[in-house]
Amino acid sequence: MSARPDNRPKALVYGLAVAGVSTVRALLRHGHDVIAADDTITPERLATATELGVELIDSSVRSVDELLDGCSMLCPAPGVPETHPIIEAALARGIEIVSEIELAYRWEQQRPGGPRRMLAVTATDGKTTTSKLAVHLLEAAGVRSIDAGNTDTPLVDALDAVDEVGNERYDAFVVECSSFRLAWTPTFRADAAAWLNLQPDHLNWHRSMNAYEAAKAQVFANQTAADVAIGFAEDPVVMAWLAQAPGRQCSFGGPDADYRVENATLVGPNGTIAPLRSLRRRLPHDVTNALAASALVLETGLADAAAVASGLATFVGPPHRLERIATINGIDWYNDSKATTPHAAAAAIRSFERIVLIAGGADKGVALSSMAAEPERFAGVIGLGATAPNIVELFIAAGVNAERVVDVQTLERAVTQAAEWAGDGDVVLLSPGCASLDQFASFEVRGDTFRRLVAALSQEVSA
């Protein structure tokens, strides 16, 4: 292992945004010498580096070989793609590449008294809601936990969190595992890992669909026979990987799965979990998320059926995920801004009979055709942003009335147009199927903007 003269291992953290800053702090706490680099140097990032006491290097003025000189480890931020020169250089030189969840896992194994339990969730769509639901179920069972990783809280921060008197804050962790983080996890393992689905996504980050799939498969790869691997019974790719998982294998969804719906009741291998009617919302993906989260906490013994039933009945999902935000003149308006993939948008579309759809945004390099698979559902389609021309072409080709398919570019115009088109029995659905970064800082900003515009419309109609 390459090291500094004082024998401290040297790590390069590439990308100094939220996860990168947390990784720098954690590496310093654990005795590493750290340098940081970024493709974009801003005054804020320079100030952060100064506060951390590390050098921040502009990658445009230092070669990748110079940046990696003397480093034993590269810790790329989630936004650094597999094709980035720093990744290729590290691979060529045999320098270990690790994500922040890999670092956290290694450090947790060294914890006095032994590691705490880790549950993992990965998917193209649904991982945030399922992770938060699993945390809610654990809390109902009296287990202090947090959703960490691909969330507002990196796992390296969650490990070291303490309460006001200095005691560890969490008994267990639910790790939301993006492919960006799983790609660099040679040893990370979870006591229970759930893989919800796989659809084309992030092909502007991964080298190929095969690389994306392989990254997701890391969620099972390092498990032992004592762990449990949980897969969605109706996704053949997930089930193929589940069959190879070294842990105990468990399925959810589908009539013959271990965790399923039977006679309007959620059931598992040990019997009844909860009546379906107890869920606050019962759309198809709500049910499969509930089954997956239930399997995670029940199969590990961290919660019993009574706690799960209580938690399922009280869970309220996070915003921007098929969230009803208003009813105007009898027409429901839904904010599904988190649907940044065609797969997620298609699931939302299947939830309603007649829709005025607002879709489009930044191109992620994936086909949008699944969104238009059922053209009879659309009372209108309104295109947004960079992919709006593709949206218009796709839906007209699918058979939607061309007079009811339009490219308006902006969300403001989309809301106005949707209000004109929506009639009795319709819903207005913002489910973009695309990323937000062509026009908005995040899907949350896009969803909040939509919410404000619809609130203004409601006030105007009521005036």
272, containing H or E segment: strand 271-275
**3 pLDDT exceeds 60?**
no
Tokens representing residue 432 in the block: 């973009």
Read off the pLDDT band of 372 (50, 70, 90): very high
Degrees to nearest 5, angle at CA 341 with 229 and 287: 50
Using DSSP's 3-state secondary structure scheme, residue 78 falls into: coil
Using DSSP's 3-state secondary structure scheme, residue 257 falls into: coil
Check: pTM over 0.85? Answer yes or no.
yes
- Residue 210 has a CB neighbour count (10 Å cut-off) of 9
- Residue 277 has a CB neighbour count (10 Å cut-off) of 9
Q: Which fold has domain 10-97?
A: Rossmann fold (3.40.50)
**129 pLDDT exceeds 50?**
yes
Q: Name the residue type at position 89.
A: A
For residue 130, give Cα distances in angstroms to 96, 342, 412: 31, 19, 31
Looking at the chain, which residues constitute the CATH 3.90.190.20 domain(s)?
323-462
Q: Do the beta carbons of residue 52 and residue 28 sit within 8 Å? A: yes
Read off the pLDDT band of 6 (50, 70, 90): low
Read off the pLDDT band of 5 (50, 70, 90): very low
Using DSSP's 3-state secondary structure scheme, residue 104 falls into: helix
CA pair distance 292, 194, nearest whole angstrom:
7
Q: Which fold has domain 323-462?
A: Protein-Tyrosine Phosphatase; Chain A (3.90.190)
**2 pLDDT exceeds 90?**
no
Looking at per-residue pLDDT, the higher value among 462 and 183 belongs to 183
Residue spans of beta strands (DSSP E) within 385-419? 405-409
For residue 350, give Cα distances in angstroms to 216, 233, 450: 26, 19, 21
Q: What is the pLDDT of residue 4?
A: 44
Closest listed residue to residue 292, CA positions, set 145, 121, 116 = 121
CATH of the domain spanning 101-314: 3.40.1190.10
Looking at the chain, which residues constitute the CATH 3.40.1190.10 domain(s)?
101-314
- Residues 87-105, mean pLDDT to the nearest whole number: 98
Q: What is the pLDDT of residue 75?
A: 98
pLDDT in tens, 420-455: 999 999 999 999 999 999 999 999 999 999 999 999
DSSP-derived pairing of the beta strands 145-149 and 73-76: unpaired
Tokens representing residue 161 in the block: 């969190």
**7 pLDDT exceeds 90?**
no
CA pair distance 175, 324, nearest whole angstrom:
27
Q: What is the mean pLDDT of the chain?
A: 95
* Helix ranges restricted to H, 33-145: 43-52, 64-68, 85-93, 100-109, 127-140
Q: Which residues contact 418 (CB under 8 A, 6 or more apart)?
A: 356, 358, 380, 382, 428
When computed from its CA atoms, the radius of gyration of the chain, rounded to whole angstroms, is: 23
For residue 260, give Cα distances in angstroms to 156, 245, 275: 34, 21, 12
